[in-house]
Amino acid sequence: MINDERLIWFKGNIIPVEEAKVNVLSPTSQFGANVFEGLRAYWNKADEQLYIFKLEEHIDRLLKSIKMMRFECCYDADFLRQSVIDIVKANKYKEDIAIRQTVFMDGFGSWSSTSPTDMFIAPIAKGRQYPPEKIGIECCVSSWERISDKSLSPKIKMGANYMNSRMGQMEAMRNGYDSTIFLNDQGKVSEGPGSCIFIVRDGQLITPPVTASILESITRSTILDIARNDLALEVIERDVDRTELYIADEIFLCGSAVEIVPVISVDRLSVGNAEKGSMTTVIEKLYFDIVRGISAKHKNWLTSIYEI
């Protein structure tokens, strides 16, 4: 890698990213035997502070993924949390970043091994995933079905799950779309390849339930919370039909990485006026004010990196 001077947390040490090497025969390398989190931290210039968003919730979900995969991992919640803080601080970032925290199956075992596990945490400078001048993205409904709890659970945030995401995303891009929306094994709307989905119909904000073959997304929970409690919007978690995507007034995808992204068409049918909708705009504004620590609300969702 050229000019990558990042420091990475790797197996208990903070080292240059180029020095972090994983055994090619390890189950993580051969079979995608790993679980991970994708976090974000936002730079607040006025506060001269970098805030990690919902660190606690990410650590909690990582531990659940470790449990469901039956990984033997000797790192506890405090250690997992502190290691994220340590590596972000070590890189001295003063800009928005994304953080990948991965617990992986190391050693020379196979896909059924339960140890040895270890971890890396890699932060990287990252702005918005889609350029802000883009009003929204154009999606198709995937011909690939979303993985389900009956086979490869989307609730476990494991590396191997993203091969289903890959099939959908690559198909979408081959056909000239920006991204894709999966249906689940019941034929109901599930999620995007790396995001959850909200639609707006007749002033009501709707999202598929956690049983719709989705990751239990932290951004989704955040939006449900602020929409209900801060914005007093009418919000419902229920199954969504494919054709509701064609007649929705607004649609957006959400996730730590994509943040909030309006969808302006699905299968080439425009969503509303193919613009960012009014409800999306209000939710997006509050979301960014909260994650960056501009809003006085929900400061307890932020972890400060630097001592003031």
Residues labelled as active-site residues = 157
User: Considering the complex, what minimum distance in angstroms separates the CB of residue 165 from ligand PMP?
Assistant: 6
Kindly tell me which of 7 and 263 has the beta carbon lying closer to ligand PMP. Answer: 263
Helix axes 218-229, 55-68, angle to 10 degrees: 130
- Rule CB under 6 A: choose which of 118, 191, 250, 259 binds ligand PMP: 191
CA-closest candidate to residue 227, choices 297, 159, 308, 286: 286
Helix axes 77-90, 55-68, angle to 10 degrees: 130
Stretches 27-35, 86-94, 109-117, 194-202: which one binds ligand PMP (CB under 6 A)? 194-202
Q: Which of residues 209-268 bind ligand PMP (CB under 6 A)?
A: 215, 217-220, 255-256
196 binds ligand PMP (CB under 6 A): yes
Q: What is the 3-state secondary structure (H, E, C) of 14-70?
A: EEEHHHCCCCCCCHHHHHCCEEEEEEEEEEECCCCEEEEECHHHHHHHHHHHHHHCC
Burial of 165 (0-12, 13-18, 19+ CB in 10 A): buried
184 binds ligand PMP (CB under 6 A): no
Kindly tell me which of 59 and 218 has the beta carbon lying closer to ligand PMP. Answer: 218
Whole-number CA gyration radius for the chain: 19
Kindly tell me which of 7 and 99 has the beta carbon lying closer to ligand PMP. Answer: 99
Taking CA atoms, 109 is separated from 33, 104, 203, in Å, by 11, 12, 53
DSSP state of 152: S
Stretches 25-33, 100-108, 192-200, 243-251: which one binds ligand PMP (CB under 6 A)? 192-200
Kindly tell me which of 163 and 236 has the beta carbon lying closer to ligand PMP. Answer: 163
Taking CA atoms, 223 is separated from 51, 155, 181, 268, in Å, by 18, 18, 19, 27
Kindly tell me which of 14 and 64 has the beta carbon lying closer to ligand PMP. Answer: 64
- In the stretch 112-151, what mask flags binding to ligand PMP with x, by CB under 6 A? ----------------------------------------
Stretches 11-19, 123-131, 191-199, 272-280: which one binds ligand PMP (CB under 6 A)? 191-199
- In the stretch 154-173, what mask flags binding to ligand PMP with x, by CB under 6 A? --------------------
Pairing of strands 117-125, 97-105: antiparallel
The C-alpha atoms of residue 120 and residue 102 are separated, in whole angstroms, by 5
195 binds ligand PMP (CB under 6 A): yes
The C-alpha atoms of residue 255 and residue 253 are separated, in whole angstroms, by 7
Q: Which two tokens stand for residue 93?
A: 């970032």
Q: Which of residues 6-65 bind ligand PMP (CB under 6 A)?
A: 38
Contacts with ligand PMP, residue ranges (CB under 6 A):
38, 191, 194-196, 215, 217-220, 255-256
